[in-house]
Chains A and B, each alone.
Chain A
Amino acid sequence: MAALWPLPLLISGSLWACLAMNLPEPHNGSLLVGFNTSHVSPSADLPSALRVFSLDYHHVQAPFEIVLWIMLASLAKLGFHWSGRVPAVVPESCVLIMVGLLVGGVIYGVRHSAPPTLSADAFFLFLLPPIVLDAGYFLPGRLFFENLGTILWYAVLGTLWNILGIGLSLYGVCLLAPSSLGDISLLHCLLFGSLIAAVDPVAVLSVFQEMHVNEQLHILVFGESLLNDAVTVVLYKLFESFLRLSSVTGLDVLVGGCRVVVVGLGGLFVGLFFGLVTALTSRFTSRAQVIAPLFVFLYSYLSYLTSEMLHFSGIVAIVTCAVTMKQYVEANVSEHSNTSIQYFLKMWSSVSETLIFIFLGVSTIQDIHMWSWPFVCSTLLLCLVWRTTGVLLLTAVVNKLRRNAVTFRDQFIIAYGGLRGAICFSLVFLIDDFPKKRLFITTTIVVILFTVFVQGMTIKPLVELLDVKRKKRALPTVSEEIHSRLLDHLLSGIEDVVGYWGQHYWKDRFEQFNRKYLRRVLIGEHHQARSSILRVYQELERREQRGEEAPPVVDPRPSSRPLLPEEMDSIRRILSRNLQNFNNKQTPAYSRHTLHQNVTTDRMRKPLHRHMSLPLRCTYNTITHCPQRDDGEFSYRGRAQLSRSHTVCSASRRWSEPPGTLVPALQDRTLDHKPAEEEHHSPQHKAAIERATKKHLSFVLENEKQL
């Protein structure tokens, strides 16, 4: 019965949309018509008397329709999640496309003309940036950079291989069927190849996030889909300009090659620039915290627009911007602002993605389809074939250079997970008109639908079949963190002894540079950086602390000194200055639907009983250099603030802890107790702490949805 829930929603939503579409005179073309509809009511008769009730739709038409579409998309999404067993089988993107098809069909049936299509401008300027920004902001930095070489390898070479392969083979097919396909030239085929070969980040994300594969695989596919934008867009524009030229020389091809590099690097630098500017601006937002998130969004969007203006790769720019500014912004802005940023990003990217898929469905209902069996089928086949061979070949080469080989199963998933999406769709609409353009559009739609539906739906069972390595979920404990850190240092040291530079060298060098210069400039005085050991530590501490109302229990065994939360906070603050930030294992957060996996209340642990011997609070004040307005706010803000750097914190829970409760507790202890003796070990802790340690090992602090 749960499956019937979405039907009323969808039906009402689509009827509503159709009604809205029918009220004014039908208009085809882009949805975003702007505000050029007349504001004057077109009624012919002048009112002779005042009307009590009137309807002026034209006044609000454009925003009204936009809102209706977004509403439809969101309701569909809601319905999807309420519909019982469906999410387990069908990925969200498929359902949304189906809804789009339904709505498009209804509109077509009612109006007998094509429904509004997704305009390329609207897509590239409004719908794509939030998604890419969200992806870039939550990108697991370390993993990404560790695998950057491989990702670039797949993105650049793989895409080139696909484009040339598909283009040339399609031309061969066209030559074989000259009757129907004879007027498609080689350049057209290459152009088509360039837009159809691109793996789409939106589609990939939406499908992969519902499968929990191991992080390395995820980052490979996802990183590739992000970075191949540079290659795709350049080649697309290149072929398009070739089409306009009378003849193509070798020099033009060479120039084209240079352009790829320029486009990629240009995007990178634009992104870097804006990222640093954002970081610097965020340093000064302490007095106007409410608008701090706005800067993040504005500057990121600006980087995208600037990059597009200069014909660089906007996606690369916005991803770079997000990656650059993230650590500084998180350090600088307040807790609430951080949460706002993350939630808004998630929300916008969710809405964007939903809209894109709905429009894909709606735009499929067109008058302008042209079908050609050989062309369409061969395109489908060639896409699969070339991608598979490309992945196999490239992996064979890159495995010799990698430490962690990409296994055969991983390769299969990479090849099979190469979904096409809305980018292809928009690009195909942008082609200059020529006789067979409609064929291209039809083929693109078919390929997109095929990849999203067939590949999207079957990839999960196939993954389970092949038993791809799943991500590990456990949060590392402090000792694990320490050990990891030690290993990193060790490896770095051995590297120095042996005398070879490698990634550790560059990472260390960057960290030093970061520490000495960037952090000083970009982070405000009283904000401090975090380190992963500390994050783990504070997260564990916080969990134990939540249950801390019961009176202490006496335990006969000798135990260690108390672990007081405020101490921990200040520890972390100091320590974070020193520890290098190697470990980002717990960062992936690609979920579209939730920000983090909030720890539910039933996980509330038994209290950690503390023996209160607290050093003078002034010690911490001096150490942390924090300008405190009042103690309560300091401790609340401090405690909460630190946790923000960690993407896996449960934001909502923290808001429920009022600051006031912390203050009296602290003040009690300050007054009652003397400075701690460091070697004081009280018995009752050990047992409680043991319980604590056993507990946290079973935490699942990652944000993954439970399978």
Chain B
Amino acid sequence: MGSSSSRLSNIPNGQELMQETGFSDAHLLRLYERFQFLDKDNKGHLRSEDFEAVRELSKNPIGDRIVEAFFLPGQETVDFPSFVRVLAHFRPKEKNRTREGAQQEPEPANSRNQKLKFAFRLYDRDRDGKISRVELLQVLREMLGMQVTEEQLQSIAERAIQEADLDKDDTISFDEFRKISFHADPHRNRTGEARACLLEGKQT
């Protein structure tokens, strides 16, 4: 891989990013290369068209939501730090790693809570902190494709909300969401870690 420190210096704010997100320098370098690959015109930032160029992503049922998650609200471009920050949610957890100067207060980006918040944002597009029935319907519609009738979607969405909605306000709040995902996660720590392991070339 060459001397990583020399390449690392090419990345703006590389050290701070590493500190903030917890990626190792090898990871960061890989991500930077990927970022540059996606950024075809060398603009220094990514737009949504660059994401759509990823062929597989366009086939993904929730592809556009994922893309959207990279963009901060109101912004139309994603620069490298934002790119890395989003991906930091999927960084593998290292158990014994201590970060220099790290405080205990801010949660590490790849903690379970943060991952869940990220996933929650996928559902909750308008960022009001709750998943409404409409939003759930949209997600289901995307995941289930075109051949489903509206009623059937409604039924399933209905069912899902009923199961999850504990305070009966007809929406799913983040806490309720957390409870669902607690059960949904078979190994209790799977959220995002498969991806992270792929960053390191691991298999499950």
Contact = CB atoms under 8 A, between A and B. Distances in A.
B154 interface: yes
A579 B143 contact: yes
A497 B139 contact: no
Interface string B171-204: 0100001001101111101111111011101111
A83 B157 CA distance: 49
A578 B163 contact: no
Given A403-B193, A480-B184, A499-B34, A490 B143 contact: no
A486 B163 contact: no
B6 interface: no
A690 B38 CA distance: 47
A67 interface: no
B129 to A, nearest CB: 17
Contact of B163 (A216, A505, A693): A693
Given A498-B34, A579-B144, 9 more contacts: A147-B204, A477-B163, A480-B181, A483-B177, A496-B60, A498-B199, A578-B147, A686-B162, A693-B163
A29 interface: no
**Of listed A216, A472, A484, residue having the most chain B CB within 10 A:** A484
Contact of B51 (A497, A502, A696): A497
Give the interface size class of chain B. 35 or more
Interface stretch (A87-95, A228-236, A566-574): A566-574
Contact of A678 (B54, B151, B162): B151
Interface stretch (B12-20, B61-69, B105-113): B61-69
A483 B164 CA distance: 11
Interface of B: 31, 34, 37-38, 51, 54-57, 60-63, 66, 70, 87, 90, 119, 122-123, 139-140, 143-145, 147-152, 154-156, 158-164, 168, 172, 177, 180-181, 183-187, 189-195, 197-199, 201-204
A570 B151 CA distance: 11
Contacts of B161: 479, 560
Contacts of B123: 486
Nearest to B151: A678
**Chain A contact surface mostly:** helix
A271 interface: no
Contacts of B204: 146-147, 402-404, 503
Interface of A: 146-147, 149, 216, 400-404, 472, 474, 476-487, 489-505, 508, 533, 537, 540, 557, 560-561, 563, 567-568, 570-571, 574-575, 577-579, 585, 615, 619, 623, 676, 678, 686, 689-690, 692-693, 696-697
Contacts of A486: 62, 119, 122-123, 139, 143
A575 B152 contact: yes
A490 B87 contact: no
Contacts of B194: 403, 491, 502-504
A501 to B, nearest CB: 8
B37 A499 contact: yes
A404 B151 contact: no
A493 B203 contact: no
Given A403-B193, A493-B57, A571 B155 contact: yes
Contacts of B139: 482, 486
Contacts of B185: 484, 487
Given A401-B202, A537-B159, A575 B60 contact: no
Nearest to B92: A403
